[in-house]
Amino acid sequence: MCGIYGFIGGGKVEELVNGLKKLEYRGYDSAGIAFAKNGKLFVEKHTGKVDQLRNFLDSDLSLRINAGIAHTRWASHGIPNDLNAHPQMDCQHKIAVVHNGIIENYIQLRDELEIEGHIFVSQTDTEVIAHLVEKYFNGDLLEAVRKAILDLEGTYAIGVLHADVEDEIVFARRKSPLVVATDGKRSYCASDVTPLISSSRDVVFLEDGQLAKLTAEKFEIFESSGKAVEKKIHHVEWSEKAAEKGGYKHFMLKEIHEEPRVISDALAGRISKNEVIFRELEGWSSNLNVNKINVIACGTSYHAGLIFKYFFETLRPFNIEVEVSSEYRYRNVFIDDRTLTIVISQSGETADTLESVRLVKSLGGKVLAISNVVGSTLTREADKTLYINAGPEISVASTKAYVGQLTVLYLLALYIDKTFGGDHPDIVESLRKLPEIMDNFMISSTETIKEVAEKYVGYTNFMYIGRGMNYPSALEGALKLKEISYTNAVGYQAGELKHGPIALLDEKFPVMAVAVDDKLHNKMMSNILETKARNAHVVAILTEGDTEALKSINDAIYVPKLPSHLYPFLVGTVFQLFAYYVADARDLNIDMPRNLAKSVTIE
């Protein structure tokens, strides 16, 4: 996820930086701007936050320009460095492009463009867009951008400026947001309304496949066929602070609602004809021909690792061990050349996880990292990395990154299984459909989850239970509730209750049970009856249509009927929303819970 801002109609360079600053929550590993003067393109871009860019610009901040585009980056292709920062340029340094999203076919496009003589300088997917616009430019910038986007596969919001076209800037979108506005003297475009509302509250949200041509006095919207479309003006009432959160009260809620998009981005470019492909692992497949997999992580990432194990075992029996990093690093572990170590860390900076990586490497083991932060320590020390491409997670409690981790881990399981001859087109297809399912589910069920959460807000202890793949979901649900609502919550394998924890239960100790229609459903229902017999109130996550279970529980949250392996995704979201609404009803500091840090860099 990155932030894009641009204006046309006259202003100071500093206004580009100010606009960008309001989008910094969308990405902050590098920042850059571009503007043109007298047919010459000026670009300033650097690693670091927007304020560092401001320092670099220094006296140029007061320069008057007609138009400019700006970008704050969260890397997906290419480590954060000055070359990979946006804007990216064409061979002649006439065209500047800023981009948010993932171009899935960029390797193929780059190869073709190189054969045609284009010279590439960065590792980004974005640079192909600048060269495509260069290739198609014939005096008409809109037309060149239109032709360029027809070649692109994947997701994008792009802004394009051409040094020879001073009276126009062009933007285009597919699946990454862009908003356009004008006050009649200047026109603006940005990734969200935050930097626009001080100029105009009447905005147009570009739709997928649309382009916007901005001139000083107005903007026009076109389909990718070139046909002009009528503008749908929205009047925005949000405050700037609310706009940053997309109108949601907290970043956590916004990030939960981003989950369908996160799944799409994690899948992007990794499925072809119902088979998983990981370009990142090309030439490395021999390291996947293993007979043992160790998974190491902390907290939420550890729970994602546990689900990986359960999922992999549905594909084939396999020797998989999942361990928390703070334990693993002190163990006398066995590793040989047929052991693969998968290390999961959203931040890529968790101290215990990094020490575990060093232990594995000192024993000659191979490390495959799964991370959200390009260039983080983990990704530099691992042999290979698969990025989840979730964009920055601002809320301390991990939500969308967890869903991104699960998505990549499922793909990885399928990919490793393929090296042993496995073929599961049905599962790949189910993953492809998941973003839409998740989206519909959130639209239809968020209110119910909120109502149930508000009903249980007065309780101080919760027991989360599940079986099989949904046992780690129980652990994760309990963790979410603990960390943001400061409520005691424990997660257990439902079958373990009678070995001790059931002694805790009474009418003051509710049970959150995952009882979806998988192969362990009947066993789960027996466990639920055991808890009911102790007078516990039971909130159950059930599959739509299961009315029979209602007799044994107090409150139901229904999820749609799915293949069993997909339930952990939706169950995870239910528990995240439940924890969120309990914490919100108590008016707590949800995005920054006490005693916690986003990146745990101490042991």
Annotated catalytic sites, by residue? 2, 598
Of 514 and 590, which CB lies nearer to ligand F6R in the complex structure?
Answer: 590
Residues 110 and 114: their CA atoms lie apart, in Å, by 6
Angle, to 10 degrees, between the axis of helix 259-267 and the axis of helix 425-455? 160
Beta strand residue intervals within 215-352, DSSP E:
219-222, 228-229, 234-235, 271-272, 275-276, 292-297, 320-324, 339-345
Say how many C-beta atoms besides its own lie within 10 A of residue 603's C-beta. 11
Radius of gyration of the chain (CA): 25
Output the smallest distance, CB 467 to ligand F6R, in A.
23
CB contact burial 435-456 (16+ within 10 A = b; e otherwise): bebbbebbeebbeebbebbebb
Of 22, 20, 18, 19, residue with least CA distance to 31: 20
Of 29 and 90, which CB lies nearer to ligand F6R in the complex structure?
Answer: 29
What token pair was written down for 456?
């249980």
Q: 543 - beta bridge partners?
A: 559
Output the smallest distance, CB 489 to ligand F6R, in A.
13
Of 104 and 483, which CB lies nearer to ligand F6R in the complex structure?
Answer: 483
Q: For residue 51, what are the CA distances in angstroms to 58, 64, 347?
A: 11, 20, 22
Q: For residue 49, what are the CA distances in angstroms to 7, 22, 124?
A: 21, 12, 19
Q: What is the dihedral of CA 362, 363, 367, 372, to 10 degrees?
A: -40
Q: What is the DSSP letter of 175?
A: B
Label the pairing between strands 64-73 and 3-12.
antiparallel
Reduced to 3 states, what is the DSSP secondary structure of residue 267? Answer: helix
Of 479, 532, 526, 529, residue with least CA distance to 509: 532
Reduced to 3 states, what is the DSSP secondary structure of residue 350? Answer: coil
Residues 212 and 203: their CA atoms lie apart, in Å, by 12
Of 76 and 200, which CB lies nearer to ligand F6R in the complex structure?
Answer: 76
Label the pairing between strands 3-12 and 187-190.
antiparallel
Residues 424 and 402: their CA atoms lie apart, in Å, by 23
Residues 461 and 531: their CA atoms lie apart, in Å, by 14
What token pair was written down for 81?
């460095």
Pairs from 254-258 (Cβ < 8 Å, separation ≥ 24): 255/393, 255/394, 255/395, 255/399, 255/400, 256/399, 256/400, 256/442, 256/573, 256/576, 256/577, 256/580, 257/442, 258/390, 258/391, 258/400
Of 191 and 395, which CB lies nearer to ligand F6R in the complex structure?
Answer: 395
Q: What is the DSSP letter of 190?
A: E
Output the smallest distance, CB 538 to ligand F6R, in A.
25
Output the smallest distance, CB 516 to ligand F6R, in A.
23
Output the smallest distance, CB 357 to ligand F6R, in A.
11
Output the smallest distance, CB 394 to ligand F6R, in A.
12
Residue ranges binding ligand F6R (CB under 6 A)? 298-301, 345-347, 350, 353, 397-398, 479, 483, 600
Of 23, 110, 78, residue with least CA distance to 389: 78
Of 127 and 352, which CB lies nearer to ligand F6R in the complex structure?
Answer: 352
Of 18 and 576, which CB lies nearer to ligand F6R in the complex structure?
Answer: 576
* Strands laid side by side in the 219-222 sheet: 88-89, 95-103, 154-162, 169-174, 211-214, 219-222, 228-229
Nearest-CB residue for ligand F6R: 299
Type of residue found at 83: L
Of 127 and 483, which CB lies nearer to ligand F6R in the complex structure?
Answer: 483
Of 30 and 301, which CB lies nearer to ligand F6R in the complex structure?
Answer: 301
Q: How would DSSP label each residue in 48-70? A: S-HHHHHHHHGGGGG-EEEEEEE
Q: For residue 510, what are the CA distances in angstroms to 294, 353, 464, 514?
A: 35, 34, 9, 13
Of 452 and 590, which CB lies nearer to ligand F6R in the complex structure?
Answer: 590
Of 23 and 367, which CB lies nearer to ligand F6R in the complex structure?
Answer: 367
